[in-house]
Amino acid sequence: MIQNYDAVIFDLDGVLVSTDECHYQAWKCLADRENIPFDRKVNERLRGVSRMESLEIILERAAKQYTPTEKVRMAEYKNQIYREKIEGLTPSDLLPGVALFLRYLREQGKRIAVGSSSKNTGRILEKIGLDKTFDAVADGNDITKSKPDPEVFLVAAKKLGLPSARCIVVEDAFSGIEAGKAAGMTTVGVGSAGQCPSADYRLVDLADERLYQLF
Ligand code: B16
Ligand code: MG
């Protein structure tokens, strides 16, 4: 097992905090309003995917065509509902093992960053008490191409001042694992990506002790 990486770049939704349920509920409100069939299976395809690309996936099942202006308004409507939902987040919403692993990395002198597709990353980090924790944050506001494009992780590594080969990416989305690999980084899949065949390591969550062996 390769050891002594210098940094860990964490995906946000599904890795540090479970905002995926808030995304699902907000998209569900929009889909119901528009009479578009939408379920948790479709929702799985939205992991790590940008807001507008998520909307396009949902609209695959729509009975009518929407104009670009209507699409922007629909995405804004979803985001408004989502923003209300994330206001209810607290530090107790951190996923299992997150607080302990972050403390361990700090003690080991490792650098830590966030690499998320979400444009709401700043507010979410504030709500879960991690807004002053990371050395770098790269999010949906920093990028033009969403996962599986490597852009968000390359921006995070650049902000850390480290080459890709020194970074590990932790992701819950298959698209995120592909993005990490395309960035030339070692990948750890957790949650849904704990089953991703192309991930270098597959774990249940950050409480898995095997994670600590990488540092
Ligand atoms: P927003 P991640 C992603 O976060 C979510 O998994 C995905 O469902 C969402 O559409 C995307 O952020 C954009 O989020 O609408 O808040 O900009 O997994 O990359 O941390
Ligand atoms: Mg995610």
- Report pLDDT digits (tens) over 27-78: 999 999 999 999 999 999 999 899 999 999 999 999 999 999 999 999 999 9
Name the pTM for this structure.
0.94
**Is 149 one of the annotated active-site residues of the chain?**
no
3-class SS of residue 106: helix
Number of domains in the chain: 2
Tell me, yes or no, whether 138 and 209 share the same domain. yes
Atom of ligand 1 nearest to the CA of 152: 19
Range of the domain at 63: 20-86
- Report pLDDT digits (tens) over 125-170: 999 999 999 999 999 999 999 899 999 999 999 999 999 999 999 9
3-class SS of residue 153: helix
Helices 20-33 and 68-86 meet at what angle, rounded to 10? Answer: 140
Residue 127 lies in a domain: yes
- What tokens does 120 get? 């709401």
Residue 104 lies in a domain: yes
Q: What residues sit around ligand 2, an ion, with C-beta below 5 angstroms?
A: 11, 13-14, 48, 172-173
Tell me, yes or no, whether 123 and 153 share the same domain. yes
CATH number at 76 reads: 1.10.150.240
Ligand 1 pocket, residue 121 CB under 6 Å = no
Q: Which of 6, 13, 139, 200 is catalytic?
A: 13
Distance in Å, CA 211 to ligand 1 centroid: 24
Asked whether residue 2 carries a pLDDT value surpassing 50, the answer given is: no
